[in-house]
Amino acid sequence: MLVKQLLSMKSDNAKPWIDSATIVTIAPTTTLGEAATLLAEKRIGAVVVSTDGRRPEGILSERDIVRQLGKHGPDVLSQPVSGVMTTQVQTCTTGEDALTILERMTQGRFRHMPVVDGQGDMLGVISIGDAVSGRLKELAAEKEALTGMIMGS
């Protein structure tokens, strides 16, 4: 399964907050409090940080916010996300294999990855859950095909 298939599966879910055509982004100057509110409203685990809404400059997860709250207390919520976000954003392209992406996420211990085109513009965001779901569908299709071969259908 390819990343482009994962993106199309997300669109099929009819959930506007994960529509691959609508990428949720925030500016680097957004406060952690505003980011936390957005994550809660959209029911998402991370948001891409981007000045122009097209190219990822960073990524901010719920975990990032919780870690800062634990270290510095609630006053940190007025700080900009630029000081907390992950700046070394791992990206992928639509032609990459979903299993390879799942392995990268697992090894890198991150859960969200922007999908970019050849110019670095975002096309969508996939989560580790999307990759696992795609892999499970792939395995189910393989099982069905093998069962069909064994049964002679």
- CATH number at 52 reads 3.10.580.10
For residues 91 and 89, give the distance between their C-alpha atoms in angstroms, rounded to a whole number. Answer: 6
**What is the domain count for the chain?**
1
The pTM (predicted TM-score) of the whole model is 0.83
**Contact present, 47 and 22 (Cβ < 8 Å):** no
Question: What is the reported pLDDT for 48?
Answer: 97
Q: By residue range, what is the domain housing residue 142?
A: 1-149
State both tokens at 51.
Answer: 């000045």
**Contact present, 82 and 49 (Cβ < 8 Å):** yes
Question: What is the reported pLDDT for 18?
Answer: 41
The per-residue pLDDT string of the chain (153 residues; one tens digit each, 9 = 90 and over) reads 899 999 988 765 544 434 444 789 999 999 999 999 999 999 999 999 999 999 999 999 999 999 999 999 999 999 999 999 999 999 999 999 999 999 999 999 999 999 999 999 999 999 999 999 888 998 988 898 888 888 876
